[in-house]
């Protein structure tokens, strides 16, 4: 069993807090993605788990064993660094064998394990090459083989796909997920890319300013962001400030009008209505009753292949983004800048989120 538990783990650099009171339980065989913007503490968290950074406070355990004070080589973890960190003067096979030599594994045994690890990442024929003779994706796979060859209890990946092009990134993230599942490896995957987190993780930890903002299965976090930061980071640009009405059936925008809510948990105090651009429809006539509607004007219209995006000025506060199907694909005729419109949506499409 290699369940990883972080209990109130923090890292301070002088007065600066890189990670604040992080408590997280990663189940045996689970893949957890740490997701968040630059500087939110993802790498610091990963390095504390690996032992490269000492926690200022808190405890870390693996499989019930407290590893908080142990150096990296006594934690039996495999780590892939963002920049691969391969040794340029060593061959692929020597790079992969490095961790085994450190562990005093016999030469014959090491040779066999290196061959197996390279085969697993489909680089069986590349053992004698130097890293510079490989493509970026192949180098990334060498780094993965090097992390796996020691048969780690835990696999730690720090933005492992960030230097790859889109196609290779897609292929590699599927490969990593398959390997992780077939080996049943407890894995922490750091990324700032929500698609990567979405398509690989069992659970996602959204981090913000050194703390945990939200934890859950990706579909749940995407579908129900709990804070304005989470909603914005997960790609919902429309966040309209206001408050629930006392009967909890409506939302009064700070800027004036009130709309209806449906299926939203109660939130006391200032909150935001998060609206996905795809949920908003536009019409030049008032919409049917039952829809929430705001009167406004098209400010900017831009084409995006199969969609047309509108920036709208309404009386509910900040500019509103709406994304409609392009006319050539069955969407309505384009509404040029300056057109007076109604922006409308189904009450259940609005997600109510906390300010913090």
Ligand X SMILES: Nc1ncnc2c1ncn2[C@@H]1O[C@H](COP(=O)(O)OP(=O)(O)OP(=O)(O)O)[C@@H](O)[C@H]1O
Residue whose CB is less far from ligand X, 191 or 354: 191
Give the one entry of ligand X, Mg ion, none that residue 337 binds, where binding means its C-beta sits below a cut-off of 5 to 8 angstroms depending on kind: none
Give the one entry of Mg ion, ligand X, none that residue 67 binds, where binding means its C-beta sits below a cut-off of 5 to 8 angstroms depending on kind: none
Beta bridge partners of 252: 243, 258
Beta bridge partners of 156: 79, 188
Extract the tokens encoding 238: 């429309």
The CA–CA distances, whole Å, from 164 to 35, 229, 329 equal 18, 28, 33
Under DSSP, the state recorded for 227 is B
Contact 300, 320 (CB under 8 A): no
Interface residue with ligand X among 40, 154, 282, 301 (CB under 6 A) is 40
Residue whose CB is less far from ligand X, 76 or 162: 162
Sole window of 43-51, 103-111, 181-189, 219-227 interacting with Mg ion (rule: CB under 5 A): 43-51
Under DSSP, the state recorded for 82 is T
Residue whose CB is less far from Mg ion, 36 or 225: 36
Contact 45, 202 (CB under 8 A): no
Sole window of 33-41, 84-92, 126-134, 238-246 interacting with ligand X (rule: CB under 6 A): 33-41
Whole-number minimum distance, CB 43 to Mg ion, in Å? 3
Interface residue with ligand X among 8, 39, 122, 329 (CB under 6 A) is 39
Residue 45 as a binder of Mg ion (CB under 5 A): the answer is no
Q: Which residue's Cβ lies closest to Mg ion?
A: 43
Sole window of 32-40, 181-189, 242-250, 311-319 interacting with ligand X (rule: CB under 6 A): 32-40
Evaluated on CA atoms 254, 258, 259, 263, the torsion sign reads: positive
Residue whose CB is less far from ligand X, 42 or 113: 42
Sole window of 10-18, 230-238, 267-275, 300-308 interacting with ligand X (rule: CB under 6 A): 10-18
Interface residue with Mg ion among 2, 43, 138, 227 (CB under 5 A) is 43
Whole-number minimum distance, CB 294 to Mg ion, in Å? 40
Interface residue with ligand X among 10, 30, 41, 197 (CB under 6 A) is 41
Any idea how long the chain is? 356
Q: Which of residues 44-103 bind ligand X (CB under 6 A)?
A: 44
Residue 15 as a binder of ligand X (CB under 6 A): the answer is no
End-to-end CA distance of the chain: 36
Distance separating alpha carbons of residues 74 and 101, to the nearest angstrom: 14
How many residues of this chain bind ligand X (CB under 6 A)?
12
How does DSSP assign 94-158, residue by residue? HHHHHHHHHTT--HHHHHHHHHHHHHHTT-GGGTTS-GGGS-HHHHHHHHHHHHHTT--SEEEEE
Sole window of 35-43, 270-278, 325-333, 343-351 interacting with Mg ion (rule: CB under 5 A): 35-43
Q: What angle do CA 321, 322, 324 make, to 5 degrees?
A: 150
Interface residue with ligand X among 129, 170, 177, 192 (CB under 6 A) is 192
Closest CA to 102 of 142, 72, 65, 130: 72
Residue 42 as a binder of ligand X (CB under 6 A): the answer is yes
Give the number of other Cβ atoms within 10 Å of residue 92's Cβ.
Answer: 26
Residues in the site for Mg ion, rule: CB under 5 A? 43
Binding site for ligand X (CB under 6 A): 13, 16, 18, 36, 38-44, 192
């Amino acid at each position: 069993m290699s369940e990883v538990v972080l209990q109130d783990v923090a890292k301070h650099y002088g007065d600066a807090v890189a990670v604040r009171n992080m408590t997280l339980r990663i189940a045996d065989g689970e893949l957890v993605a740490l997701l968040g913007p630059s500087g939110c503490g993802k790498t610091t968290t990963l390095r504390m788990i690996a032992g490269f950074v000492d926690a200022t406070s808190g405890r870390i355990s693996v499989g019930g064993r407290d590893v908080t004070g142990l150096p990296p080589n006594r934690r039996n973890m495999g780590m892939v660094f963002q920049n691969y960190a391969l040794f340029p003067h060593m061959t692929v096979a020597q790079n992969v064998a490095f961790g085994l030599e450190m562990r005093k594994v016999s030469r014959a045994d090491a040779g066999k394990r290196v061959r197996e690890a390279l085969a697993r990442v489909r680089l069986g024929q590349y053992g004698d090459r130097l890293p510079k003779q490989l493509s970026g994706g192949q180098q990334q796979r060498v780094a993965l083989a090097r992390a796996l060859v020691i048969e780690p209890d835990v696999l730690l990946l720090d933005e492992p796909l960030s230097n790859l092009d889109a196609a290779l990134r897609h292929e590699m993230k599927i490969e990593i997920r398959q390997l992780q599942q077939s080996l049943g490896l407890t894995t922490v995957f750091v990324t700032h890319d929500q698609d990567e987190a979405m398509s690989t993780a069992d659970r996602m930890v959204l981090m913000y300013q050194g703390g945990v903002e939200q934890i859950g299965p990706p579909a749940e976090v995407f579908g129900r962001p709990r804070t304005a930061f989470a909603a914005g980071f997960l790609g919902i640009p429309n966040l309209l400030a206001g408050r629930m009405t006392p009967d909890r059936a409506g939302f009064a925008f700070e800027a004036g009008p009130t709309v209806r809510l449906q299926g939203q948990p109660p939130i006391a105090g200032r909150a935001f209505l998060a609206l996905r651009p795809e949920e908003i429809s536009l019409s030049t006539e008032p919409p049917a009753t039952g829809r929430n509607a705001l009167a406004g004007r098209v400010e900017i219209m831009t084409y995006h292949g199969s969609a047309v995006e509108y920036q709208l000025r309404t009386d509910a506060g900040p500019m509103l983004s709406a994304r409609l199907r392009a006319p050539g694909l069955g969407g309505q005729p384009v509404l040029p800048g300056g057109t007076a419109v109604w922006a409308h949506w189904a009450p259940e499409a609005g997600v109510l989120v906390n300010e913090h």
